[in-house]
Amino acid sequence: MLTVNDLSVKYPDGALAIDSVRFAIGAGENVALIGANGAGKTTLLLALVGILLPSGGDIRIRDIEKRVAHPGGAQANEIMLGKKTLRDARSLIGMVFQNPDDQLFMPSIYDDVAFGLRNFGCGEEEVANRVGAALSSLGIDHLAERSPLKLSGGEKRLVAIASVLSMDPQLLLFDEPTAFLDPRARRNLIATLSGLPQAKLIATHDLAFAQTVCPRALLLQKGKLVADVSSIDILHDAAALEAAGL
């Protein structure tokens, strides 16, 4: 489903945020992305959806390929990726941000979930069908006409997920999905994510959550991938976690 080869990302000041990272995720696989603050987790997710441009390596999503210049070659803004390829890639990958308020900005939940579909040029009948299906799949269709301002943190999280699911992606990226959630909302989120068939890459500091939802974990340390093992193994390796600042 997703193959990442020697991916590197530099910040504008030249600092290397992601350093030659390599991994693959199969269809339907749940993978945790763990690491201390500043390890590069969010940066990696943003590179996978094309919000940040890599400075080296390549990302393959199914038969869609994003090729970029390697260090020492062309500049990062000379990425060999046309608008059509990026559009197709974003139809296959959906990202749920850490703060759902970053994704919910329309007057109603319906309009929030419909936003991406309308931007892709879908007709209103298709929009209605896909919005309804996304909300219903998460059990929140009753929120369709509500304002995001009047939702709980757990409800906002589910709506943010619905806005991504409406695009019918094959891979879901999550950035700290349990942040801001109370214990009940956290349990509901675990049940929701465990029931979704899409492949998932989940950046999280919540190690118990990672072990529950993801059989496999990637450990980032200062932008480098230092472990790609089962969640149970890495989360019981105190020395490795301590070295990574966790």
Note the pLDDT tens digit of each residue in 197-219.
Answer: 999 999 999 999 999 999 999 99
Q: What single string gives the DSSP state of each residue in 138-161?
A: TT-GGGTTS-GGGS-HHHHHHHHH
Band of pLDDT at residue 15, cut at 50, 70 and 90: confident
CA 133 to chain centre: 21
Q: Are strands 64-67 and 93-96 parallel, antiparallel or unpaired?
A: unpaired
Residue from 165, 172, 157 nearest 30 by CA: 172
- Contact between 25 and 33 under an 8 Å Cβ cutoff? The reply is no
pTM > 0.75: yes or no: yes
pLDDT of res. 86: 66
Residue from 107, 100, 104, 133 nearest 116 by CA: 104
pLDDT of res. 85: 59
- Contact between 192 and 225 under an 8 Å Cβ cutoff? The reply is no
Q: What is the mean pLDDT of residues 229-239?
A: 88
Q: Residue 120: phi, psi to the nearest 5?
A: -85, 0
